[in-house]
Amino acid sequence: MLTQTTSRVLEPSDLDAALAVLDREPVANAFVTSRVQVAGLDPWRLGGEMWGWYEDGLLTSLCYAGANLVPICATPRAVRAFADRARRAGRRCSSIVGPAEPTAELWRLLEPSWGPARDVRAHQPLMVTDRLSADVAPDPYVRRIRKDEMETIMPACVAMFTEEVGVSPMAGDGGLLYQARVAELVGSGRSFARLDADGKVVFKAEIGAATDRACQIQGVWVAPEYRGQGYAAPGMSAVLRYALADVAPVVSLYVNDFNTAARRTYRRVGFEEVGAFMSVLF
């Protein structure tokens, strides 16, 4: 029996089918789902194309191709098709990121033409929780950042990004896109921080991707002069409390496997490792 398979760029009329695929793994797919729910599948609004893989006429796998290349519920045959399409189009993304197994295979197929990468983070534990830990009280001084505090939070965001990714988000376009993203999170009430007596950021984190089923904490950072003083765990507990109360019933994050201090902190506040992501940075 022959199985008919094909891949193509999805159109706005494919939205319901795409959402059905995304909904199969609501935690792992939160980043892309949140974008699709807001922007649909129009490439201009979405900030990239959504590629679909069909088997016997049914949409079974996706790949978001924008600033990031993200395989979604991707079977081995879908990964090969997405790699072929990406190779033909040429690299336009700044990273490949997604569940570790399909992302590793996608990179294996693309590396001969897209490599070398600036950095490959092959195992980034995906951590999830749906409740607060009784062991760590939320920091009462962690609060939402106001719209008039952009100048306060922005330097901390730039420092975190540069430290985490290895390049400044202010390069290229002068930071316009990054500043717009930070402003979006602040404006939507998903940027949190503790400030010291001088108004400088001690701890910060954001709730980035958010759907009605899951959300993702990102950008966790403690100012260097305050590290090792016990701000991270209470700060994370505070952000987790906001997330569970106001955003979604399940909260996730992913972390570099070599960041043992962060993994220990996240476990203290109730997160459990349930899988792994992988990131390839260019």
What is the rounded CA–CA span in Å between residue 119 and residue 111? 12
Helix (H, G, I), strand (E, B) or coil at 105: helix
In 3D, which of 195, 256, 252 has the Cα closest to residue 222?
A: 195
Contact criterion met (CB below 8 Å) for 139 and 237 = yes
| 27-66 pLDDT, tens digit each | 999 999 999 999 999 999 999 999 999 999 999 999 999 9
pLDDT of residue 3: 53
Handedness of CA 161, 36, 254, 75 (dihedral sign): negative
Confidence grade of residue 1 (pLDDT, cut at 50, 70, 90): very low
Helix, strand, coil tally for the chain in percent (to 5): 40, 30, 30
CATH topology of domain 3-115: Aminopeptidase (3.40.630)
Length, in residues, of the chain: 282
Cβ count within 10 A of residue 277: 21
User: What is this structure's pTM?
Assistant: 0.92
**Hey, do 3-115 and 140-274 end up sharing a CATH topology, with the first three levels equal?**
yes
What is the rounded CA–CA span in Å between residue 246 and residue 129? 15
- Tokens of residue 208, six digits: 């980035």
Inform me whether the pLDDT recorded for 92 exceeds 80.
yes
| 122-153 pLDDT, tens digit each | 999 999 999 999 999 999 999 999 999 999 99
Helix 30-39 and helix 15-22, axial crossing angle in degrees, nearest 10: 160
What is the rounded CA–CA span in Å between residue 189 and residue 243? 11
pLDDT of residue 171: 83
User: Architecture of domain 140-274 in CATH?
Assistant: 3-Layer(aba) Sandwich (3.40)
Question: What's the rounded mean pLDDT across residues 187-191?
Answer: 96
Contact criterion met (CB below 8 Å) for 241 and 138 = yes
| 150-166 pLDDT, tens digit each | 999 999 999 999 999 98
Kind and range of the H or E element at 236? helix 232-246
- Tokens of residue 139, six digits: 């920091």
What is the rounded CA–CA span in Å between residue 232 and residue 92? 35
Cβ count within 10 A of residue 155: 12
What is the rounded CA–CA span in Å between residue 247 and residue 208? 11
Q: How far is CA 84 from CA 79, 106, 109, 118, 217, in A?
A: 9, 10, 8, 22, 33
- Domain extents in the chain: 3-115, 140-274
What stretches of the chain adopt beta strand conformation (E)?
A: 5-9, 49-55, 58-65, 68-72, 95-99, 119-129, 143-144, 191-195, 201-210, 215-222, 251-254, 272-281
